[in-house]
Amino acid sequence: MAHGLIFMPILYYGKTDTGSVRDNNQDSFFAGKIDCNTEEDVFLAVVCDGMGGAVGGSFASKLAADTFTKELTSGMKNIIEENLSIDSCEVLLSYAARCANSAVYEASLNDPSLRGMGTTLVAMLVFRHNVYAVNIGDSRFYCIGEDGICKISRDHSYVQTLVDQGKISEEEAKVHPNKNVIMRAVGTESEVKPDFFKVLPDRKTFLLCSDGLSNFVSDEEIEKTVRESETLSDAVDSLIEKANAAGGGDNITAVLVKA
């Protein structure tokens, strides 16, 4: 699945791939202009990486992405119609993420076959020349600018905790046997705390991706690929090809945005 489009001032392209090892794809994503019944452009991109088996993981990621997008769209209509401060976007993004958490958690309680399912969620919103982001789990939000690539989000993972405590290095974290164990996810508990970020676009490029990309392609190679590609679609296709060439051991999703 892939899609991309241009509308002023946003250029984007997103794609998901099963990878070389998995039999099914548990990732979900959305990218595009959301309909807020206004002439103002509001752009949203969401990437979710599900867990909990073939059925549960796919269900969780799609439900989270759909719920988040629905609540975000409804909330943005209110912000615009009531002329609220753009600072309200932080509250809205966190609220939409918690709604996604509740939807997945309640679904898991109501269906025994879905017990234990969950998903990551990383999203970015572009509104009035500002970029906002929210993150739960270890899917990532990168900024690629003139000064290089920067990982804006922080992984909610076991190995990141070890890095923060000074017990292992960033390099050791990349090959740690428990690098895929996450400490915070959407839908595994009744409540979850999302991380919020705000950055100025300043003609930068942004990447949202699941760990099927970041675990198999280094940050340096991601930056190099994006810079050397003629189009965003070429860059995303190349990144997915590189992840598969490196083993493709997980589902791979990437959404590249130029704001």
pLDDT score of 5: 56
Q: What percent of the chain has pLDDT over 70?
A: 97
| Distance separating alpha carbons of residues 82 and 61, to the nearest angstrom | 31
Average pLDDT of the residues in 209-226: 97
pTM of the full structure: 0.93
Q: Higher-confidence residue: 241 or 169?
A: 241
Tell me the C-alpha to C-alpha distance, in Å, between residue 227 and each of 58, 191, 239, 256: 32, 39, 12, 12
